[in-house]
């Protein structure tokens, strides 16, 4: 009889770092929700600070896995799911909290998250095919989803300067039935770069 799959028994040390990544991303989403509820900019800044912390955990889980020589299919799937939360949904939630709340903003932020999910799914499917003789993927197709950290840094600068809500950089414009904020285009660009097939970035 095959052994029953036990989550705790199958976890490696690197997987706990991956879960810490997801924990930070979830915390950032809750911080954005709390800001929308109570209006405290401190909550928003805490949420933004959790994304660089998630980035650190995301970098460490790979290093720990190589150090322990304990990579697994479970770990790869966990890593992708955690990245969707911390570098896909959380940045979009923080952007919405900052004031990107128009109808067109919703569409573009949803597009950004969809690109992140698609990019990670493609990586999981093609990782083995792209691996060299040593079994390591040599390059990323499209920008890695953690690059969305740059978007959060831009939002953090805006929040620090008070340029959120009605004072959002570049203002807002009504296009047809919905409001559009030009700042949201950086999410459109980031999402498009993530799903690029021709853009190859060396993997460290």
CA dihedral angle for residue 142, residue 148, residue 151, residue 153, rounded to 10 degrees? -130
**Residue 18 placed within a domain:** yes
Q: Which domain holds residue 179?
A: 8-202
Residue 124 CA to residue 80 CA, distance in Å, equals 8
The whole-angstrom separation of Cα 25 and Cα 22 is 5
Structural domain includes residue 17: yes
Does residue 2 sit within a domain?
Answer: no
Domain count, the chain: 1
Residue 131: DSSP 8-state: B
Compute the distance between CA of residue 69 and CA of residue 66 in angstroms, rounded to an integer.
Answer: 5
Model confidence at 1: pLDDT above 60: no
Output the CA torsion 10→29→174→183 (10° steps). -80
- Whether 196 shows a pLDDT value over 60: the answer reads yes
Any idea what the CATH number is for the domain that residue 54 is in?
A: 1.20.120.1760
pLDDT in tens, 103-153: 999 999 999 999 999 999 988 887 666 655 555 666 678 899 999 999 999
Q: Which residue has the higher pLDDT, 192 or 66?
A: 192
Cα-based distances in Å from 171 to 38, 167, 175, 186: 23, 7, 13, 14
126-135 — which CB contacts under 8 Å span 24+ positions?
127/76
Cβ neighbours for 200, distance < 8 A, ≥ 6 positions apart: 139, 140, 141
Q: Is residue 28 part of a domain?
A: yes
> What CA–CA distance (Å, rounded) separates 49 from 171?
25
For residue 70, name the pLDDT band (cuts at 50, 70, 90): low
Question: Residue 68 above 60 pLDDT?
Answer: no
| Rounded average pLDDT over 55-67 | 79
In a domain, residue 1? The reply is no
3-state secondary structure of 65: helix
| 62: in domain | yes
3 occurs within a structural domain: no
What confidence score (pLDDT) does residue 61 get? 75
Q: How far apart are CA 14 and CA 58, in angstroms?
A: 10
Contact 88, 164 (CB under 8 A): no
């Amino acid at each position: 009889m095959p052994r029953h799959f036990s989550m705790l028994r199958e976890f490696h040390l690197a997987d706990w770092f991956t879960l810490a990544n997801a924990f930070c991303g979830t915390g950032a989403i809750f911080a954005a929700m709390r800001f929308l509820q109570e209006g405290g900019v401190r909550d928003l800044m805490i949420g933004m600070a959790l994304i660089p912390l998630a980035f650190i955990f995301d970098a460490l889980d790979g290093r720990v896995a190589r150090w322990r020589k304990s990579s697994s299919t479970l770990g790869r799937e966990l890593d992708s799911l955690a990245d969707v939360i911390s570098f896909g949904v959380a940045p979009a939630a923080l952007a919405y909290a900052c004031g990107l709340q128009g109808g067109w903003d919703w569409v573009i932020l949803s597009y950004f998250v969809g690109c992140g999910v698609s990019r990670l799914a493609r990586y999981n499917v093609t990782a083995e095919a792209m691996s060299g003789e040593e079994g390591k993927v040599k390059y990323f197709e499209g920008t890695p989803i953690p690059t969305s950290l740059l978007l959060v840094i831009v939002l953090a600068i805006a929040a620090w300067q008070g340029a959120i809500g009605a004072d959002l950089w570049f203002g807002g414009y009504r296009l047809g039935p919905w409001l559009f904020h030009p700042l949201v285009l950086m999410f459109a660009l980031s999402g498009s770069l993530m799903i690029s097939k021709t853009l190859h970035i060396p993997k460290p």
